[in-house]
Each structure stands twice: as C-alpha cells, then as structure tokens.
Amino acid sequence: MTKLKLKPGIVSGTQLDELFEYCKETQCALPAVNVIGSSSINAAIRSAREANAPIIIQFSNGGSVFNAGKYFDNTDQKTAIAGGIAGAHHVRLIAEAHGVPVVLHTDHCARKLLPWIDGLIEAGQQYYKQNGVPLYSSHMLDLSEETLEDNIAISKRYLERLAKIDMYLEIELGVTGGEEDGVDNTDVDNSKLYTQPDDVLAAYDALSPVGRITVAASFGNTHGVYKPGNVQLRPDILKHSQARIYSERKTPTEKPLSLVFHGGSGSSEKEIQQAVSYGVIKFNIDTDTQWAFTHPIKKYMDENDAYLRSQIGNPEGDDKPNKKYIDPRAWMVLGEKGMIARLKEAFSHLNATDKFDF
Ligand SMILES: [Zn+2]
C-alpha cells in the first residue's frame, strides 16, 4: 500500500476520515499525547517529524488551564477556554512551520466541564467562518458517569454543532479506571470497566447518522501506571463491538468504529498491537511522557547540584557564575528530548513510523 499523503498543519474533516481509514486498513494507530504548554507541544511535533507520522496533540481541561496560567481565576472556565484557544493557535503555527500534520483534540470533558467545550466550540465556529476549517479537529465528551441515555442524548446535541464545522466527537462508553486530571475512578465497580457491545451499538445507531465519531470503549484500561492488579485488559471487547455493528447494520467495512485506547501508559507491546488490530486508531499517552519529561530533569538537577545552590560560586571557584546551569532552557530541553524519545517509541509500537508522506 502506498504511503498516505498528508498536508502539514491541522488535519480535519475529510482528510481526517481518510487518515483514520488508512490507520485501520494498515493496522497502525497514532499516539495522542497530552500537552501543557509550548515545551511539550514542540516536543510532540518534533517526535512526529522524526517518526514521519502525524501525531494527535490533546489538551485536557487541566492542561488548558495550565497553558493560560494555573494561578488565574478560572470562573466559568474562562482560563481553560483561553488556554485551549491559545494552545490551538500555537500548535497550528508550529506544525505548519515545521511541515508536520497534527490532529488537534481535547481530552475528557465531564458534564460539569461542558462550559469549557462550549467556549471552544464558539471559538471554533468563529474560526470556521473566517477560514473554512475548524480550530480543533475534534473534542471529547466524557459522560460515562451519566446514564447511557443521557450520555447519548447530550453527545448528540454536541455532535449536531460539531458536524456543522467538520469536527469529530469522541465519546466514552464504560469507565476508564485509575485517576487522571483530578478525576478519580480508582474505586469504580469493576463491571463498569468493561463496555457492553450493546451500548456501543446503541451509541452508533444514535450518533453515526448525525456526524463523525470516535469511541473510547473501556476494556479494563486504566489511567496512570500501576502495579498489575485485579483488572485484566480484554481487547476482545473491542473486537466484539466492531463485529456486533458489522453484523447488525451490514456496514461496508468490518471495522466501522474508530476506537480510542485510553490509559495507554504502561501497556505491553502485545496488548497495544492486539487493540490496534481491532480498530484502535488513537492511543492516549500521558503518564509515560510525563515521566520521560521529568526524569532527565531530575538527573540534571542531581548531577549539577553543586552548580545550582547559589547564583555565584561552584566547585571551580567561589566567584564563578552559575548562570548557564540556572537557565531553565538548559534543563527544559532535556525534558523535551526525553519526551521526543518516548513518543518515537510509541509510534514504533503503534506501527506508525514511516507510513506517511508529508
Ligand atoms: Zn483518558
């Protein structure tokens, strides 16, 4: 199969349809990395450049707030909205400057955070009016704490708005375990960690006529990296969900759903590849890239401890300046390089390296 040709910048609409179909046909998926500011954004874009594959960059609500200044007032989600819009413009400009295609997305949005997504959709409608393309490629709603009926009904209302500006909606069915961004699902009932194929069919029937969706189905996956515990990964749930829709609705392809793997950090290569073979096209990674960013910085601080105790004076002399050790660029770049290396490993595990032309 010839490599998929992509235009640099933000990928959306029909080009994103093609990208997801290509991923399913060639059994590869793209890392979806959480970013919190220019440093992690630039590292993500660089990793995609080196892997010759597009990357999915996503802002969580907390990441959006952080991007605009965590200490500011966030009444009515105003800081989160500003951080999300500013981040989108930064990603777009830097991706275009370096010739890299990027899918731009927002992560989990529970019911109480809907004003954040409302603000981003308003900005997206404005952007679409001026430019003919959306600001983001896609948003996620995570209404997995609501009833299935509410989850589907609210998702449908949002999808109607997103469809008009060529955007995707990611929904969550079942609950991702663990804890992330202040949402703690560590004590959730185990049965909720496994999505029912019937629920997936109901969501597919209600939403696919309205617009473009991706589905985060739970198959025992958890946010964060924990000691292997009592929850088993069961990727066959993904396979059964696809098969149910294919057989019930006679869809043209055997993998009608574009699936999302949440809590990818800490997964084995084999588990990843199995999930990808069942139609996972988006693989969320956060904890592993956080570690990859922070660890080299800890090493730097440890190794240069004697140069970081005061602005003047180190083992080479009491009057020697320490400016070049103190400069945050000296150690932030090490975090960025750590993150780039970890993301390149993810591209490789996801079978995406060198499969694209841009
Ligand atoms: Zn998640």
pLDDT in tens, 71-128: 999 999 999 999 999 999 999 999 999 999 999 999 999 999 999 999 999 999 999 9
Per this entry, what is the length of the chain? 358
Q: Which two tokens stand for residue 121?
A: 């959709």
For residue 146, how far is its CA from the centre of ligand 1 (angstroms)? 16
**pLDDT band, very low/low/confident/very high, at 355 (cuts 50, 70, 90):** very high
Amino acid identity, residue 217? A
Contact 31, 39 (CB under 8 A): no
The class level of CATH for 4-357 reads alpha beta
pLDDT at 194: 85
334 Cβ neighbours under 8 A, 6+ residues apart: 296, 297, 299, 300
For residue 317, how far is its CA from the centre of ligand 1 (angstroms)? 50
**pLDDT band, very low/low/confident/very high, at 184 (cuts 50, 70, 90):** confident
pLDDT of 173 over the 70 cut:
yes
pLDDT of 191 over the 80 cut:
no
pLDDT of 268 over the 90 cut:
no
What residue segments make up the domains of the chain, in order of their start? 4-357
- Ligand 1 is a single-atom ion; what residues have CB below 5 A from it? 176, 262
For residue 314, how far is its CA from the centre of ligand 1 (angstroms)? 45
Q: For the chain, what is the mean pLDDT?
A: 94
Among 76, 107, 181, 198, the active-site one is 107
Q: How many CB atoms lie within 10 A of CB 156?
A: 17
Q: Give the tens place of pLDDT for each residue, 82-92.
A: 999 999 999 99
294-303's contacts with Cβ under 8 Å and 24+ in sequence apart are 294/335, 294/338, 295/338, 296/331, 296/334, 296/335, 296/337, 296/338, 297/331, 297/332, 297/334, 297/335, 299/334, 300/330, 300/331, 300/334, 301/331
**Does the annotation count 107 as an active-site position?**
yes
- Which parts of 132-192 fold into alpha helices (H)? 148-163
Please give the Cα distance from 29 to 278 (Å, whole number). 11
204 Cβ neighbours under 8 A, 6+ residues apart: 213, 215, 245, 249, 256, 257
Q: Give the tens place of pLDDT for each residue, 282-295.
A: 999 999 999 999 99
pTM attached to this predicted model: 0.95
For residue 102, how far is its CA from the centre of ligand 1 (angstroms)? 19
For residue 57, how far is its CA from the centre of ligand 1 (angstroms)? 13
Q: Which two tokens stand for residue 208?
A: 């696919």
For residue 130, how far is its CA from the centre of ligand 1 (angstroms)? 32
How distant, in Å, are the alpha carbons of 38, 175, 254, 258, 287 from that of 267? 27, 17, 25, 20, 11
pLDDT at 264: 80
